[in-house]
Amino acid sequence: MTHKFDLRVYYEDTDSGGIVYYANYLKFAERARTEMLRDLGVEHSAVLARDGLAFAVRRCATDYLSPAVLDDALTVLSTVTNMGGASFDMDQVVMRGDHKLAVLDVRMACMQVRGDRTGKPARIPQDLRKVLTADAAA
């Protein structure tokens, strides 16, 4: 399954020329990942409160193909591609209509943030694994 997240480019997202600043594509992708989990019935705050776990970007490779500009309507497509014990991989694509603007290859890591606060890797909870695995298999 591929999750779809729609957004609009605001003035705050652009440089003085009205072009989206490159780092803001990472923010768009982050919002899309958060909304994907929420739509799957998982909220970051609940995982943190219940399990003391959080997700962090471990790796992100981005190809910027074409610029987005002020007032563009964009869509971020997010697909879970692989599930590990304490991490999962995603492909994310920022689109304007049928035109690819940026392609992201992301590895998300699950880590312990409550208790010793070491941020050490932690297994993804079974309920979340089931939801993400079903998503990856769809």
Q: Is the pLDDT of residue 126 over 80?
A: yes
From 9, 1, 11, select the one nearest 94 (Cα to Cα): 9
From 32, 33, 11, 31, select the one nearest 21 (Cα to Cα): 11
15 is catalytic: yes
Break the chain into its structural domains and give their ranges: 3-137
Q: Is the pLDDT of residue 5 over 60?
A: yes
pLDDT at 22: 95
pLDDT at 118: 73
Per-residue model confidence as pLDDT tens digits over 55-92: 999 999 999 999 999 999 999 999 999 999 999 999 99
Which pair of structure tokens corresponds to residue 7? 């957004």
SS3 label, residue 104: strand
Which pair of structure tokens corresponds to residue 121? 């890797």
Per-residue model confidence as pLDDT tens digits over 30-45: 999 999 999 998 888 8
Strand partners, 93: 77, 103
Task: Say if pTM beats, i.e. exceeds, 0.85.
Answer: yes
* CATH annotation of 3-137: 3.10.129.10
SS3 label, residue 47: helix
Q: Is the pLDDT of residue 138 over 60?
A: no
Q: Is the pLDDT of residue 115 over 80?
A: no
Percent of the chain with pLDDT over 70: 95
Task: Given the residues 6, 13, 15, 51, select the one marked as catalytic.
Answer: 15
